[in-house]
């Protein structure tokens, strides 16, 4: 793969990594701090979600390394690269669900934006990773939205 294409894909994956890690941190925060009548359901659901995200950051970072680039790994780098916004304070349970649903959709948008790069470079491993990530985030967003009624 030409260097310019390889670097562009790695840069895009770095944005996906930043979104994924930021969403992991936010979901873990909500897991710790959720309250209300849906506490047990949300506490357990958020744990499943942040556990899946923790595994995903490793997969994404390793793909960046396989492309010969270094993966970002600091809060400062993630803050610059991520489209996910941190929560202000501790929102109520309904607002947590709404934010996480929106954030899951944002990660899908980031992943989708990388497809033209991966396709142009015939980078099937990256395209496969993006497809898998999109499926997971779309399903999670749907499940969260279903809780909002």
Helix (H) or strand (E) holding 116: helix 115-120
For 9, phi then psi, to 5°, come to: -65, -45
Segment-wise mean pLDDT, segments of 10 residues, the chain, 149 residues = 95 98 98 97 98 98 98 96 96 98 98 96 97 98 96
The radius of gyration of the chain from alpha carbons, rounded to an integer in Å, stands at: 16
Model pLDDT, residue 149: 85
The overall pTM is greater than 0.85: yes
**Residue that is written with structure tokens 């309904």 in the block:** 94
Q: How far is CA 24 from CA 9, 133, 142, in A?
A: 22, 14, 18
Model pLDDT, residue 128: 98
Model pLDDT, residue 86: 93
Find, among 57, 64, 63, 60, the residue nearest to 28 by Cα.
57
Distance CA 58, CA 109 (A): 20
Model pLDDT, residue 64: 98
Distance CA 149, CA 144 (A): 9
């Amino acid at each position: 793969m030409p260097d310019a294409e390889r670097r562009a894909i790695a840069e895009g994956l770095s944005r996906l990594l930043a979104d994924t890690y930021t969403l992991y941190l936010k979901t873990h925060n909500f897991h710790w701090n959720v309250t209300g009548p849906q506490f047990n359901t949300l506490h357990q659901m958020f744990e499943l979600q942040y556990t899946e995200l923790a595994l995903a950051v490793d997969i994404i970072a390793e793909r960046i390394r396989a492309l010969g680039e270094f993966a970002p790994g600091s809060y400062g780098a993630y803050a610059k690269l991520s489209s996910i916004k941190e929560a202000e304070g501790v929102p109520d349970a309904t607002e947590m669900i709404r934010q996480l649903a929106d954030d899951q959709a944002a990660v899908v948008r980031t992943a989708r934006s990388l497809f033209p790069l991966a396709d142009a470079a015939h980078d099937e491993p990256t395209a496969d990773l993006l497809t898998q990530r999109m499926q997971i985030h779309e399903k999670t967003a749907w499940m969260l939205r279903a809780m909002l009624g």
